[in-house]
Chains A and B, each alone.
Chain A
Amino acid sequence: MSLRIFIPGDAGAVAVGADEVAAAFATVARERGVVLDIIRNGSRGLYWLEPMVEVETPAGRIAYGPTAPGDAPSLLDAVLGSGQHRLRQGRAEDIPWLKRQTRLTFARCGIADPRSLADYQRQGGGKGLERALLLGPPATIETVVQSGLRGRGGAGFPTGIKWRTVAQTSAPRKYVVCNADEGDSGTFADRMIMEGDPFVLIEGMAIAAFAVGATKGYIYIRSEYPHAVAAMNAACAAARRGGLLGRGIGGSSHDFDIEVRVGAGAYVCGEETSLLESLEGRRGVVRAKPPLPAHHGLFGKPTVINNVLSFASVPIILEQGAAFYWGFGAGKSRGTMPIQLAGNVKYGGLFETAFGITLGELVDDIGGGTFTGRSVRAVQVGGPLGAYFPRALFDTPFDYESFAARDGLIGHGGLVLFDDTVNMARQARFAMEFCAIESCGKCTPCRIGARRGVETIDRIIGDDNRAAHLDVLQDLCHTMKYGSLCALGGFTPYPVMSALTHFPEDFGAAPKRLQAAE
Chain B
Amino acid sequence: MSVNEPWNVDRANALIAAHSGAEGPLLPILHAFNDAFGYIDKAAEPLIAAALNISRAEVHGVVTFYHDFRSKPAGRHVLKLCRAEACQAAGGDAIAARAERQLGVAIGRTAADGGVTLEPVYCLGLCATAPAAMLDGRVVGRLDERRLEALLAEAQR
Q: B-contacting residues of A (Cβ < 8 Å)?
A: 11-12, 14-16, 45, 47-48, 50, 182-188, 190-191, 223-227, 259, 261-267, 278-285, 299, 340-345, 348-350, 371, 380, 384, 414, 416-419, 422, 427, 430, 434, 437-438, 440
Q: How far is the CA of A14 from the CA of B123 in the complex (A)?
A: 16
Tell me which of A223, A284, A285, A342 contacts B128 (CB under 8 A): A342
User: Across the interface, do B85 and A264 meet the contact criterion of CB distance under 8 Å?
Assistant: no
Q: Which of B73-103 contact A (CB under 8 A)?
A: 84-91
Question: What 18 additional pairs, Cβ within 8 angstroms, besides A340-B128, A342-B89?
Answer: A12-B126, A45-B128, A188-B126, A265-B67, A266-B67, A281-B52, A282-B26, A283-B61, A299-B23, A342-B128, A343-B85, A344-B89, A344-B90, A348-B127, A349-B128, A371-B90, A380-B85, A438-B122
Nearest B residue (CB) for A284: B65
Tell me which of A12, A224, A226, A285 contacts B123 (CB under 8 A): A224
Provide the residues of chain B in CB contact with A263, threshold 8 Å: 27, 66, 68
User: Across the interface, do A223 and B68 meet the contact criterion of CB distance under 8 Å?
Assistant: yes
Q: How many A-B residue pairs have CB under 8 A?
A: 158
Nearest B residue (CB) for A433: B83
> Can you list 12 A-B contacts with CB-CB less than 8 angstroms, sorted by A residue number?
A15-B124, A15-B132, A15-B140, A47-B128, A48-B128, A188-B125, A225-B125, A259-B22, A262-B27, A264-B66, A281-B26, A342-B86
Tell me which of B68, B69, B128 contacts A12 (CB under 8 A): B128
Q: How far is the CA of A265 from the CA of B119 in the complex (A)?
A: 12
Provide the residues of chain B in CB contact with A350, threshold 8 Å: 128
User: Across the interface, do B126 and A343 meet the contact criterion of CB distance under 8 Å?
Assistant: no
User: Across the interface, do B89 and A343 meet the contact criterion of CB distance under 8 Å?
Assistant: yes
User: Across the interface, do B129 and A16 meet the contact criterion of CB distance under 8 Å?
Assistant: yes
Please report the total number of B residues contacting A with Cβ < 8 Å.
Answer: 43
Provide the residues of chain B in CB contact with A226, threshold 8 Å: 137
Tell me which of B122, B128, B139 contacts A345 (CB under 8 A): B128
Provide the residues of chain B in CB contact with A427, threshold 8 Å: 85, 88
Closest CB of chain A to B87's CB: distance in Å? Answer: 7
Tell me which of B27, B84, B85, B139 contacts A278 (CB under 8 A): B27
Complex interface bits, B123-145 against A, C-beta within 8 A gives 1, otherwise 0: 11111111010100101111000
User: Across the interface, do A12 and B125 meet the contact criterion of CB distance under 8 Å?
Assistant: yes
